[in-house]
């Protein structure tokens, strides 16, 4: 059976594809140098504030800092808050970009952060819980940081309706937007097959094989959209901190797309990893500058619940 943490990440929101890619077997544009060759490994018993300061110091020269989370693990969000806080304390004013919010919600996101609304009201305004994302209270401290420090906020995701359309019809379902949503990377059949296997596993191996190519198109379309939004954000801000699922940092994901869309972008990747020997996903984190270990959550296998619902 595939790692249930991977399946949980995709099943949290039915329209969201966060599957990771496997190793790339043919050449692709390399990511730019992002600082120290050896990744910083943050152990479970490391003081969070101290570790956050180390991460902020290493990421000082980066233009994009990815904080790749496991969506449902509070420890990842607490570490994100600590890292952003450390960046601000050093004098940085990064824009905060959110995978969870579609581009069309940018005006509402900006207004919500500038308002005096509390967490529940902002949750409703952004339709966060309504879209199936985990508890907004875990993310609320990030919004509070943006308010206190006057940080710009950026909605990055592809419109969910378009995401679903592409996941069913492939890029032809995107109409005139197809070219803009296509992967910016050179074709790589092995990489695409690996992504497809991850998507299939994350959907409990219940997808018809004929659906997989369109689902891969949809995964690329989301990553390309996020990458383009980050490139846009860098026109206004010197640095962007990205709140994003860790799978989007893998081969073919946002960092690789951005390296082509905006060549030379200095990127820095933090991956939060549950400290559990079952988490084989660790072996795929080959582009990580920081590997931050967090306690594993007890979870029911999501496929068991899914199969029960199907009867």
Report pLDDT for 276: 64
Report pLDDT for 214: 96
Report pLDDT for 278: 53
Q: With a cut of 70, list the residues of the chain below it in pLDDT.
A: 1-37, 276-287, 305-311
Report pLDDT for 299: 85
Report pLDDT for 38: 76
Report pLDDT for 311: 59
How is domain 4-21+40-310 classified at the CATH fold level? Answer: Rossmann fold (3.40.50)
pTM as predicted: 0.86
DSSP string, the chain: ---HHHHHHHHTSTT---PPP----S--PPPPP-S-SSPEEE-TTS-HHHHHHHHHHHTTT-SEEEEEE-TT-HHHHHHHHHHHHHHHHTT--PEEEEEEEEGGGHHHHHHHHHS---HHHHHHHHTTGGGT-S-GGGTHHHHHHHHHHT--EEEEEPPHHHHHHHHHHGGGGGGGGHHHHS-SSPP-HHHHHHHHHHHHHHTTT-S-GGGHHHHHHHHHHHHHHHHHHHHHHTTT-S-EEEEEEGGGGSTTSHHHHHHHHSTT--EEEEEEEE--TT-GGGGG-TT-SEEEEEPPPP---HHHHHHHHH-
């Amino acid at each position: 059976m595939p790692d249930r943490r991977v399946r949980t990440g995709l099943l949290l929101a039915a329209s969201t594809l966060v599957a990771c890619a496997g190793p790339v077997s043919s050449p692709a544009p390399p990511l730019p140098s992002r600082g120290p060759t050896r990744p910083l490994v943050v152990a479970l018993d490391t003081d969070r504030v101290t570790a956050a300061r180390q991460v902020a110091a290493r990421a000082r020269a980066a233009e994009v800092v990815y904080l790749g989370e496991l969506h449902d693990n509070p420890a990842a969000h607490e570490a994100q808050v600590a890292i952003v806080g450390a960046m601000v304390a050093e004098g940085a004013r990064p824009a905060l970009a959110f995978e969870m919010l579609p581009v069309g919600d940018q005006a509402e996101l900006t207004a919500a952060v500038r308002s005096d609304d509390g967490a529940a009201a902002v949750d409703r305004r952004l339709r966060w819980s309504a879209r199936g994302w985990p508890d907004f209270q875990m993310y609320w401290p990030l919004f509070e940081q943006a308010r206190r420090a006057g940080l710009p906020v950026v909605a990055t995701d592809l419109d969910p309706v378009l995401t679903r359309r592409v996941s069913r019809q492939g890029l032809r379902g995107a109409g005139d937007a197809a070219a803009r949503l296509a992967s910016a990377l050179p074709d790589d059949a092995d990489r695409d097959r690996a992504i497809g296997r991850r998507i299939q596993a994350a959907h409990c191996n219940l997808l018809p094989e004929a659906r997989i190519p369109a689902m891969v198109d949809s995964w690329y379309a989301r990553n390309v959209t996020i990458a383009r939004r980050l490139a846009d954000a860098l026109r206004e801000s010197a640095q962007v901190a990205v709140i994003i699922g860790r799978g989007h940092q893998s081969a073919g994901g946002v960092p690789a797309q951005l390296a082509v869309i905006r060549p030379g972008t200095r990127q820095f990747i933090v991956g939060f990893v549950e400290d559990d020997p079952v988490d084989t996903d660790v072996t795929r984190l080959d582009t990580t500058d920081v590997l931050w270990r967090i306690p594993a959550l007890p979870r029911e296998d999501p496929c068991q619940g899914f199969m029960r619902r199907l009867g």
